[in-house]
Amino acid sequence: MLFKNPSVLYALCLLIIPIIVHLFQLRRFKKEYFTNVAFLKKIQQQSRKSSKVKKWLVLLSRLFALAAIILAFAQPYFPAADSSLKDESLVIYLDNSFSMQQEGDNTNLLNEAVQNLITTIPSNKEFTLFTNDQVYRNTTIDKIKNQLLEINFTAKNPSLKSSYLKAQNLFDTQINNSKAFLAISDFQGNSIDSDNFFNENYKNYLIPLQAKEQQNLSIDSAYIDNKIDKDYQLHIRVSSNQNTEDVFPIALYNQEQLLAKSSISFKDSLSKNVVFNLNEEKILYGKLVIEDNSLAYDNELFFGITTSPKIKVASISANDDTFLRNIFANKEAFEFHAFKENEADYSVLESADFIVVNELKQIPVSLQTLLREKTKKEKNIVVIPHEEIDYENYNSFLVSSNRGKIVDKKTEELKVTQIRFSHPLFKNVFRKQISNFDYPSVYQSYQIDDYGSPALLTNDQTGFLTEKDHFYLFKSALSEKSTNFKNSPLIVPVFYNMALQSVSLPQLYYNVGDINEIDISTPLNEDEVLHLVKNEIDLIPLQRKLSEQVKITTAQDLPIVAGNFEVKKQNELITTLGFNYNREESNLTGLFLNQFENIEIKDSLKNYFSTLRNQSEVDELWKWFVIFALVFLAIEMLLLKFLK
């Protein structure tokens, strides 16, 4: 037994005073004379004997009462079973990622964890707590109770290893004190590193939280076919982590207006594709919604569909260009300009998105320079050689453009027999790979030492159409004398996609937290900037002014939430952008925590803190000594009153 105020024990010396009072009778007796002396002696002996017993009992009760009072003021206690826990440095990691939206027994896992922290942490226990986006250093539960109740979910989902390294930096700098790390999470599989990283010198506790229901649906992605006309299809991919016979509704909205609705079931497959046929020119505030009882963040996908700008296509031809006029005849989609050789308007060429050099014998130097500048700006160009080219002129251009060299002319007949389906030129062109089709014939062609990527190959395994750095090159003229490729069904998607891929069509949506570079078609004055606005949120992203557009960058630290954001110039609405959280946490697969060393798994917070309290709290005894003092005082009063 130890004392908090041991100096008070010196007061025990004062107990000598009542002893002296009781041992020395200070009272004087008055003499009285009696005639019967024998009777007097008998009475005197009996009185002295009973008085002596009573005085000793009163003395003892009084001494015990005074001693108990003195000991109570000295505050005695029994020390803790593990005294090192008193100064233990405790760091708590509370996971507030989206996976903690799963329902527990009464509410979501995050709210349950917060309530358990508030009710189980001792009020005088100092600790450091951090979440995925907040840190509370050297605090107590009473100080941060309100902040904990207001914690929101975040898209940030660091691995457990990253969180542990952060905890090590937050530990108390004292060398000799004990250190304990406590992690509260659902411990998803995609958030944990496989290697062992727990420090054996720390006490590492993991508290896994379990949801009542493990099934989760997620709208993973959406895309549209290249939108040229008003009619198009919106493709949506929805996944489930469990098979189920239940039917789930999925709906498409533009703000609050319902545009389409369907339903899906995951009885036979964990992934489903939903297609909506649309004829809306614009869907500025698009939102896809599916309903389930698990995670909420992946039940919505926000997007925006705007009017596609016309693609500017220009051709310079020495021979017939009818096939080009037919391909780009859609005036709603293309702004097509056709020029004869030596009649080109270079101002139109400079503004063009896609340029076709159609069978020129020589390529003027000024045009060569313009074409090289176009490829540097990531605009597509295609060169169709003439049947009788100027080798020196062509090779000068090709070598300076890093496109190899034309070596010789070949007159043997070839067939275009192979399509590189993986080439970007054929993206979304074929539903499946085909091997048998009407092979176009090539009657005469050029042998080219080319380092480009072939999109179409002939039967001699050389490229009929190759591409490198936005520069497309055919190995032959497209005249009837050279090939019948113009009659092939391949010619339309080939030139169509060359033009489409020359412009950066706006994405349907962007991911929160990614570094997104977005081109906004609008001019800006010197004192104007673009704003991203959603309700009360008004952000100014990093932006760079170009000639007729602005490139904005949404950096990782920009506080964007999921939703439809308006792009505004002053108060003018320019367009809208959809932002969504990535779907990494939609997979609710957990890990076997037992694979890690130097850890202890706890069933609950209450389990951990009850163990900590039992080991760290001292057993104070002063209350018992106050009770003893009162008991002995009561005994003294009873002795004085009833003992004769």
**Per-residue confidence (pLDDT) for residue 633, from 0 to 100:** 85
Q: Of 288, 306, 324, which residue is a domain's last?
A: 306
- Asked if residue 89 and residue 14 are part of one domain, the reply reads no
Phi and psi at 325, nearest 5°, equal: -65, -35
User: Position 230: which residue type?
Assistant: K
317 and 234 share a domain?
no
Q: Are residues 349 and 412 in the same domain?
A: yes
Statement to judge: residues 301 and 257 lie in one domain: yes
pLDDT digit string, tens, across residues 425-466: 887 676 667 666 788 999 999 999 877 899 999 999 999 999
In a domain, 549, yes or no: no
Q: Is 526 part of any domain?
A: no
Rounded to whole angstroms, the Cα distance separating 56 from 416 reads 125
Question: Residue 590: its pLDDT value, please?
Answer: 65
Task: Assign 373 a pLDDT band (cuts: 50, 70, 90).
Answer: very high
* Higher pLDDT, residue 333 or 196: 333
Q: 457 forms bridges with which residues in the sheet?
A: 418, 463
Of 500, 521, 549, at which residue does a domain stop?
A: 500
Residues 551-602 pLDDT 10s: 888 877 677 789 999 999 988 999 999 999 988 888 777 666 667 788 888 8
Residue where a domain stops, chosen among 470, 500, 530:
500
Q: At what angle do helices 391-400 and 365-376 cross, to 10 degrees?
A: 30
Mean pLDDT of 538-556: 83
Q: Is residue 513 part of a domain?
A: no
Are both 150 and 297 inside the same structural domain?
no
On whether both 273 and 160 belong to a single domain, the answer is: no
Same domain, 387 and 267: no
Count CB-CB contacts under 10 A for residue 176. Answer: 6
Range of the domain at 471: 311-500
pLDDT of 301 over the 60 cut: yes
Number of domains in the chain: 4
Arithmetic mean of pLDDT, 178-184: 89
**Which letter, b or e, does each residue of 263-281 get, where b requires 16 or more Cβ atoms within 10 Å of its Cβ?**
ebebeeeeebebebebebe
- Work out the pLDDT band at 26, boundaries 50, 70, 90: very low
Examine the domain organization and report whether 57 and 178 are in the same domain.
no
Tens-place pLDDT, residues 71-102: 888 888 776 555 544 567 889 999 998 989 88
Domain CATH code at residue 264: 2.60.40.10
Does residue 48 have a pLDDT over 60?
A: no
> Cβ distance 304 to 564 under 8 Å?
yes
In a domain, 450, yes or no: yes
Residue-wise burial string across 552-580, b where 16 or more C-beta atoms lie within 10 A, e elsewhere: bebeeebebebbbbbbbbeeeebbbbbbb
Question: Do the domain assignments include residue 554?
Answer: no
* CATH number of the CATH domain containing 434: 3.40.50.880
Q: Where does the pLDDT of residue 378 fall: very low under 50, low under 70, confident under 90, or very high at 90 and above? A: confident
575 within some domain? no
pLDDT bracket for residue 210 (50, 70, 90): confident
268 and 365: one domain? Answer: no
Q: What is the mean pLDDT of the chain?
A: 84
390 and 460 belong to one structural domain:
yes
Based on the fold, state whether residues 276 and 381 are members of the same structural domain. Answer: no
Residues 325 and 469 in one domain: yes
